[in-house]
Each structure stands twice: as structure tokens, then as C-alpha cells.
Amino acid sequence: MTEVEFDLPKGYVDPTGSVHRAGVMRLATAADEIYPLKDLRVRNWPAYLIVLLLERVVTKLGSLPEVHAGVIEGLFSEDLAFLQGLYNRINGLSPPVLAVTRPHCGSEHHVEVPLVGG
């Protein structure tokens, strides 16, 4: 399995008002994770990395002719978070969990550390 179908929770609304929810994401390659790091937009704004990663691996979204950075930028926050989670799951990435101690009471709890794609 190298591709996974998905349905966005809210859907991308294109300039004509059409909503696109059904899509396909393929597994990421090393190049997908490396080449965006050369992009000046990522160097100037590291948070932009997820936009370029998703642009590369989301191969279909509704009836759109292509999925480009502008489409990813136009997603609702819930849909972006959904795609980030899907990216991490299908690529076998699980967030590291750290044990932290609360300073006010000394109790310990666990927190997930965000991944590059997250």
C-alpha cells in the first residue's frame, strides 16, 4: 500500500465555492522530506514546511486538477491537522513521548513532542 484515500472533515472550498473532501495521499519519500528544506519559504518560516510536505504527497483532492501550496494554505485548520496526523500515521511516524514533572506539585505526566510533519 503506497496510497491512502481520505475524506477531509470540512473540505477545501475552491474559488467557485465547490467543496473538495475526498483525496489521496501517497507515502512520503526521503526526497519529499529533504527538498522542501531548501525552499526559502521554509528557511524564513519553518512552520511552512508542512505546506510543502503535503503539497508533495497529497496527489488528489476532489476534482481539483492539482494540489499545490495555495490549496494547502487554503485548508481549514481542522483539515490541516487531519492531514498532518494522516501523514504521520501512514509514514510510520509516532510522536516521541516525554515524561515531565509539574513544577508546582512534583507529579509526573507524559507529553507528546510534535514531529516534523506535525
C-alpha cell at 78: 481542522
Closest Cα to residue 74, out of 114, 18, 3?
Answer: 18
What is the reported pLDDT for 103?
82
Lookup result for grid cell 481542522: 78
pLDDT at 27 over 70: yes
Is the pTM higher than 0.75? The answer reads yes
How far, in Å, CA of 52 to CA of 63, rounded? 20
The model's pLDDT over 3-26, given as tens digits with 9 standing for 90+, comes to 999 999 999 999 999 999 999 999
Closest Cα to residue 36, out of 22, 21, 55?
Answer: 55
- Largest Cα–Cα separation, the chain: 55
The model's pLDDT over 73-104, given as tens digits with 9 standing for 90+, comes to 999 999 999 999 999 999 987 666 667 788 87
The domains of the chain are located at: 3-112
